[in-house]
Amino acid sequence: MADHGEVVYATADGNDYAAHEATYEGFIKLVKYGTTTVVLIVVLMAIFLL
């Protein structure tokens, strides 16, 4: 196997950490609010459909 060495991300060209962090924050918000919405829908279904 070839020895590729250690990847140093701090010195790699093309890394846009601001965009990466913004995308990650957006993903976390989507998961948080999406999960809350699904739980709310399930609770409302349990209340009104039983």
- pTM tops 0.95, yes or no: no
Per residue of the chain (50 residues), what is the pLDDT tens digit? Answer: 567 777 666 665 667 788 889 999 999 999 999 999 999 999 999 999 98
Task: Give the start-to-end residue ranges of the domains of the chain.
Answer: 16-48
Asked if residue 41 lies in contact with residue 35, where contact means CB atoms within 8 angstroms, the answer is no
